[in-house]
Every structure is written in structure tokens, then in C-alpha cells.
């Protein structure tokens, strides 16, 4: 228990079994681990989670894997052997949560499906993450982040009226992970009141669309014929502002902010210009207004503008490189990043869990595990003694 968290970690005492590869279930389970849950990651016996081998690596594992698997125990189990399935079943029957991201039907075929496990263990929260859900023509289709970005409208949103454009980041993978983590904790809370667990289905497509919808589909929400269409937020606020020597970003969404921009640009006359006096008039004359502003912005450098805008309490920023983010004084002041030593990977930089509890950040969890690092300890905890473990290893069931 952390001395800084007098109530203990929020999920202390919760046991999670994770069967997954790549991002979605792995990242969700890591968030549960960082909030205090014991997470056992069941990996394939041969190569383990493929994420171990993607991107910069050292000691047989990658930074990407480390970023999604802190605080877990790893065991190597051969699920092609019935004895391996039996071991996972035993783990699940002593757990509070099982989370996986296999395609619909795979866990049932293994004998590890939700109905079978929850019949034997009614308090189990069983979370099944898939690409496209359990129904429809794509229910068994493979899914990765770029595919889901394309399907849920994210690439259309990024591309605007032009060619489709990806968010060059595993956006749908990670928002699915956040959604899975929230759904699991909600189910655990309900279990405290009702005494039983439940089955959770979650698709990347649904999570991606739910995430994108509020603003991305704002002009596809109101369906009556008399609806007055307005520009999307993305067309108004997600445009870089050109300066004398580069670009900045400004979010001036209120009259006060716009007046602050005008003061920063020495264009107070725009505050009383009848063409822009109301929001309706501003939208109607938006191209003219933007032209006036563009000329004014190019009279100042980016550094000058950010300082002037900040003096007028206008939300603004330079465009930071990744290196500048790491060294940002605000990031440093908040203690968002930390440097830790990893047994396999050496010194590494991590980002800490963003939620604070009782005003304190959660303690940094243990390093991501080596492939099968905890097989012996985890199996011993469920009664597999040394001789039985040796037999399982000899039979290729565990490693």
C-alpha cells in the first residue's frame, strides 16, 4: 500500500487474467494493474505477444510492449494442449476479471468462453474485445487500428473534404482500451451491489464511433429538414495559424477570447466591425474575417504572438516536437514523465497514469515482464507444485 494513498490502491485485491495480443486488451489491463489489480498475462508459448517485437527494442523486448504491459505477471501457456487450457481455466475461476481480444468464437472453441466460465464462477466479470462485435457481416473479420479508423469515419473526419487521412497513432486501439477499462470497473462496482459478475462485449468499431461521434458527426445528428447547418468545429479550430516565421494554434471560441486576439494583433477595430458583431454575422462573413486576421498574424513571429496572446488570456500554443514535449516545463512541473530502470530494457522513460487519487499520482508499477517470467510463481499460487510444473514443461504445456 502506498504511503501517499491512505485508502490503498483503488483496485487492490482484484485479480485479472488477460489473454491478448497487441494493444486493446493489453493497454486496458495495464491501466487496471496500475490502479492496483494483480494482472496475469497469458502469452503464447512460442513467441509471446507480437507487440514484444515491434519498434525500438533491447533485451528481446520493445518499448511499445513496455508501454502497454507495466505491472503485470507473464506466463507462457500452450493453449493447443488441453492441459494448458485447464491451467487458464483454473486461473480464471480464481479471478475477478478475464479480458481477451480474440475474435468471436475463439474462446468458446477453447473451452474458455464466457458462459462456461461464468456458470462455474458467477462473480466473474468477463470482457470480450473484438474488432467488429459478435453480429453482422464483419463479426469474424480481422481488425487493426487503421482498418477501424477507416470504418468508423475517423479518416473521413481527418481528411475533411479532401482525401482520407489517418491519425498517425493507434487511436482506435487505445480508445477501445480506455472504454474496456471503464466498462470493467463499472461491472465490478455493480458486482459489489448485486453480488454477480457479467459478460461485457466491446468492439473497436463501436468504441471508435462513440469516441468520434459528439463533434465528428455533429452535422449528421439533427435529422429534420429545417435544421440549419453550421461549419464543423474541425473546420473552425483545427487549422494552423501562419505567422511571420512558422505556425501556431489558437482556440478563440468565445467573444472574450476573440477580443483578446484582436488586442494582441493591434486590431481592436475588429471588435466593433458590424460584419463580425454577432456569431451569426461572423459565420456569414467568415472568409472576410479570416483574411483580415491572416494578414495581421503574418506581421508577428510565432514567439511574439504566443507571448502577446498569453498576455490577453487567449488559449494558444506553438507546435511542439516530441522532444519539446518531453522537456516541456509544464510536463515537468506536473511530474507526468518519469525515468525508471528496467531489468531487460535498461533506462527508460515512462508516462505516469494521468489520474490522481487523494491528490497523488499512482505509484509507478513494476516493469513490463519478460516472456513467461512469472510462470512458476503464478502456477504455484494455484497449487501446481515443482514436480507437476516439471511435467507440464516436459509435455510442452508451459515454459
Domain holding 49: CATH number? Answer: 3.40.50.10540
In a domain, 399, yes or no: no
CATH number of the domain at 302, please.
Answer: 3.30.1540.10
Element (H, E) at 38: strand 38-44
In a domain, 264, yes or no: yes
In a domain, 235, yes or no: no
In a domain, 170, yes or no: yes
∠ CA 115-119-125, nearest 5°, is: 70
In a domain, 228, yes or no: no
Alpha carbon distance 42, 77 (integer Å): 7
Quick one: 69 and 172 in the same domain? yes
Q: Which residues does 315 contact at the CB level (< 8 Å), separation at least 6?
A: 250, 251, 252, 257
Alpha carbon distance 343, 24 (integer Å): 25
User: Do the beta carbons of residue 125 and residue 184 sit within 8 Å?
Assistant: yes
Quick one: 340 and 377 in the same domain? yes
* Full residue range of the structural domain in which residue 352 is found: 15-214+332-394
Quick one: 269 and 311 in the same domain? yes
In a domain, 294, yes or no: yes
What is the reported pTM?
A: 0.92
In a domain, 168, yes or no: yes
Quick one: 120 and 144 in the same domain? yes
Helix (H, G, I), strand (E, B) or coil at 187: helix
Quick one: 249 and 365 in the same domain? no
Helix (H, G, I), strand (E, B) or coil at 23: coil
Q: What is the pLDDT along the chain (399 residues), one digit of tens a residue?
A: 444 677 899 999 999 999 999 999 999 999 999 999 999 999 999 999 999 999 999 988 999 999 999 999 999 999 999 999 999 999 999 999 999 999 999 999 999 999 999 999 999 999 999 999 999 999 999 999 999 999 999 999 998 888 999 999 999 999 999 999 999 999 999 999 999 999 999 999 999 999 999 999 999 999 999 998 877 777 777 889 999 999 999 998 888 999 999 999 999 999 999 998 888 888 889 899 989 999 999 999 999 999 999 999 999 999 999 999 999 999 999 999 999 999 889 999 999 999 999 999 999 989 999 999 999 999 999 999 999 999 999 999 999
Helix (H, G, I), strand (E, B) or coil at 337: strand
In a domain, 222, yes or no: no
Q: Which residues does 111 contact at the CB level (< 8 Å), separation at least 6?
A: 85, 89
**Number of folded domains in the chain?**
2
Amino acid at each position: 500500500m502506498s504511503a501517499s494513498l491512505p485508502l490503498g490502491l483503488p483496485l487492490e485485491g482484484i485479480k485479472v487474467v488477460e489473454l491478448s495480443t497487441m494493444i486493446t486488451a493489453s493497454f486496458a489491463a495495464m491501466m487496471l494493474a496500475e490502479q492496483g489489480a494483480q494482472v496475469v498475462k497469458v502469452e503464447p508459448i512460442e513467441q509471446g505477444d507480437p507487440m514484444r517485437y515491434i519498434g525500438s527494442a533491447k533485451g528481446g523486448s520493445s518499448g511499445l510492449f513496455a508501454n502497454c504491459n507495466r505491472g503485470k505477471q507473464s506466463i507462457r501457456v500452450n493453449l493447443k494442449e488441453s492441459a494448458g487450457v485447464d491451467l487458464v481455466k483454473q486461473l480464471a475461476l480464481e479471478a475477478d476479471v478475464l479480458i481477451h481480444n480474440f475474435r468471436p468464437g475463439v474462446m468458446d472453441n477453447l473451452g474458455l468462453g464466457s458462459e462456461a466460465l461464468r456458470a462455474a464462477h458467477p462473480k466473474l466479470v468477463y470482457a470480450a474485445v473484438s474488432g467488429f462485435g459478435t453480429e453482422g457481416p464483419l463479426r469474424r473479420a480481422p481488425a487493426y487500428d487503421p482498418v477501424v479508423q477507416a470504418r468508423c469515419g475517423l479518416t473521413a473526419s481527418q481528411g475533411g473534404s479532401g482525401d482520407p487521412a489517418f491519425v498517425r497513432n493507434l487511436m482506435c486501439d487505445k480508445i477501445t482500451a480506455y472504454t474496456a477499462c471503464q466498462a470493467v470497473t463499472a461491472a465490478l462496482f455493480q458486482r459489489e451491489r448485486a453480488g454477480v459478475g457479467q459478460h461485457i462485449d466491446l468492439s473497436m468499431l463501436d468504441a471508435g464511433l462513440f469516441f468520434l461521434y459528439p463533434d465528428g458527426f455533429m452535422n449528421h445528428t439533427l435529422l429534420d429538414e429545417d435544421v440549419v447547418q453550421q461549419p464543423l468545429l474541425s473546420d473552425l479550430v483545427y487549422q494552423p495559424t501562419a505567422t511571420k516565421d512558422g505556425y501556431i494554434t489558437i482556440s478563440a471560441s468565445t467573444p472574450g477570447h476573440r477580443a483578446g486576439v484582436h488586442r494582441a494583433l493591434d486590431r481592436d477595430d475588429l471588435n466593433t466591425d458590424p460584419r463580425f458583431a454577432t456569431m451569426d454575422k461572423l459565420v456569414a462573413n467568415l472568409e472576410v474575417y479570416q483574411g483580415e486576421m491572416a494578414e495581421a498574424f503574418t506581421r508577428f513571429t510565432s514567439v511574439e504572438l504566443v507571448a502577446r496572446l498569453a498576455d490577453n488570456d487567449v488559449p494558444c500554443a506553438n507546435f511542439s516536437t516530441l522532444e519539446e514535449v518531453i522537456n516541456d516545463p509544464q510536463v515537468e512541473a506536473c511530474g507526468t514523465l518519469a525515468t525508471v530502470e528496467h531489468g531487460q530494457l535498461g533506462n527508460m522513460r515512462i508516462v505516469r497514469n494521468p489520474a490522481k487519487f487523494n491528490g497523488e499520482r499512482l505509484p509507478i508499477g513494476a516493469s513490463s515482464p519478460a516472456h513467461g517470467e512469472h510462470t512458476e510463481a503464478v502456477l504455484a499460487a494455484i497449487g501446481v507444485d515443482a514436480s507437476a510444473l516439471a511435467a507440464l514443461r516436459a509435455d510442452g504445456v508451459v515454459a
